[in-house]
Structure formats: structure tokens, C-alpha cells
């Protein structure tokens, strides 16, 4: 099944063309790597997919539904890990997750259980009652990921989730992404590290200056680069 189908997406910021007729398909159960240099349009594209920025033209279908007509419905099944960490630094991790879980209608014991499971999943259970303001960059990133996972989205969108963190947290995040895929979550993983794409993704889309310049399996792309 197709999880997302974006066609002919155009997005301008003033005179600048951030997305220039971009097509993107995400298949159920895959880790799709979205690769590209700074300013390529990756964040704009995933924000369009998540319904956070409006597009100038094109069409977006998610879970087989038209995004314009079914945005709220679609958002229930999407988790977005933003590039800039979006957590409450003065609230302990469990309170952060209670806030984000609450937005999705979780409450009572179901919410409590989900918070404990999610903190364990990202490897922060022993820090559940500590203030994130004192966390390392890697721990904050893991909490940021937990906030996007607490409602168990079917599609998880991750915007450069390993930028500026220690290798241990980085490995933990990469392993969590693989585990989520094993559990059936579809993942769109944005990065500018080729080695992360090689380690994780079944398919890759390369974006540059608002254009898709290549796509295929990692092996396809490596072969393509070798023959050029």
C-alpha cells in the first residue's frame, strides 16, 4: 500500500522556489531516506507532507486520503520529529509525553502505560523524573523523538534527528528507527549523512535545489555514482 503520494509539489517563499514540481512516494513499511544538502528543500517538503506549510500547487494524498479534505484525520497517524528540538525543558520527560499524548486524546492508565513504554523505548526510563534542561543534546533528541511516538503513529517523519549529538545517542536513535520499522511503522528519514541512509534506508530520494535529482535503492544509487 502507498502511505503517501505527493505530486507536482510547488512551494515558493517570495521569489524563491523551495520545491519545484516534486513527486514523492512513500510505501508502507519502508524506511525512505530523504537526502540533500542544506537548503535543498527537505524540511519544506516534509512540512508540506505533515500539513504544516501550505503548498502553491500540487496534490498530497496520505493513507489514501486527500490531505486538503482529511488533514485532521491524517495528522492523528503521523508523528513528526522536528529538526529543532521541540520539548518543554522545564517539564520532566513524563510530563512532556503526557502533554503530547493528551493532544492525541490519550488519558488515564492508557496514557501512563504508553508514557512508560515510550520512555523505555527511547532509553530514558531512569531519567523520567529529571528536568530536560540538564540533559545532554542526545538525551534531548531522544525525548523529542519520544514526544512524536507516544501516540504510535503509522508514519513517522524525522527531520535530521541525529544532528549534533554524541555517537552513543546516535547509535541508539538509529537502532530505534530500525526497531520501529520491524514493528510496522513507515519512516521518512531526512538527513544529509549518506552513511545514515546506507545504514537505514531501503530506498532513497535525493533532493537538490527543490528538485528530485535521483531516487532508488541505496545499491542503485551507489552503482549510479560509480558509473558517472
- Write each residue from 148 to 187 as x if it is in contact with ligand ATP (CB under 6 A), else as -, in one continuous string: ----------------------------------------
Minimum CB distance to ligand ATP smaller for 18 or for 106: 18
Pairing type for strands 211-216 and 203-208 reads: antiparallel
Answer yes or no whether residue 1 interacts with ligand ATP by CB under 6 A. Answer: no
| β-bridge partners, 59 | 7
Least distance CB 18 / ligand ATP (angstroms): 4
Answer yes or no whether residue 36 interacts with ligand ATP by CB under 6 A. Answer: yes
209 Cβ neighbours under 8 A, 6+ residues apart: 20, 39, 40, 41
Least distance CB 16 / ligand ATP (angstroms): 6
Contact 5, 25 (CB under 8 A): yes
- Write each residue from 201 to 220 as x if it is in contact with ligand ATP (CB under 6 A), else as -, in one continuous string: --------------------
Answer yes or no whether residue 40 interacts with ligand ATP by CB under 6 A. Answer: yes
Alpha-carbon distance 86 to 72, whole Å? 21
Answer yes or no whether residue 82 interacts with ligand ATP by CB under 6 A. Answer: no
Answer yes or no whether residue 42 interacts with ligand ATP by CB under 6 A. Answer: yes
For residue 197 the three cell numbers come to: 541512509
Across the beta sheet with 57-62, what order do the strands follow?
A: 16-27, 2-13, 57-62, 65-66
Amino acid at each position: 500500500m502507498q502511505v503517501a503520494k505527493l505530486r507536482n509539489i510547488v512551494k515558493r517563499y517570495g521569489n524563491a522556489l523551495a520545491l519545484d514540481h516534486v513527486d514523492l512516494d512513500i510505501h508502507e513499511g519502508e524506511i525512505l531516506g530523504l537526502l540533500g544538502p542544506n537548503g535543498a528543500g527537505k524540511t519544506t517538503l516534509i512540512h508540506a507532507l505533515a500539513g504544516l506549510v501550505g503548498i502553491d500547487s500540487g496534490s498530497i494524498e496520505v493513507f489514501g486520503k486527500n490531505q486538503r479534505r482529511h488533514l485532521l484525520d491524517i495528522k492523528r497517524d503521523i508523528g513528526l520529529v522536528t529538526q529543532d528540538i521541540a520539548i518543554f525543558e522545564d517539564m520532566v520527560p513524563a510530563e512532556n509525553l503526557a502533554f503530547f499524548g493528551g493532544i492525541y486524546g490519550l488519558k488515564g492508565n492508557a496514557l501512563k502505560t504508553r508514557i512508560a513504554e515510550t520512555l523505555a523505548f527511547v532509553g530514558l526510563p531512569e531519567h523520567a523524573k529529571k528536568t530536560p534542561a540538564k540533559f545532554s543534546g542526545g538525551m534531548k533528541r531522544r525525548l523529542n523523538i519520544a514526544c512524536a511516538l507516544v501516540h504510535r503513529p503509522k508514519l513517522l517523519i524525522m527531520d535530521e534527528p541525529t544532528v549534533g549529538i554524541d555517537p552513543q545517542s546516535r547509535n541508539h536513535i538509529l537502532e530505534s528507527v530500525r526497531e520501529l520499522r520491524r514493528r510496522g511503522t513507515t519512516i521518512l528519514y531526512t538527513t544529509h549523512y549518506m552513511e545514515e541512509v546506507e545504514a537505514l534506508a531501503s530506498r532513497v530520494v535525493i533532493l537538490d535545489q527543490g528538485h528530485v535529482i535521483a531516487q532508488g535503492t541505496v545499491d542503485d544509487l551507489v552503482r549510479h555514482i560509480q558509473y558517472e
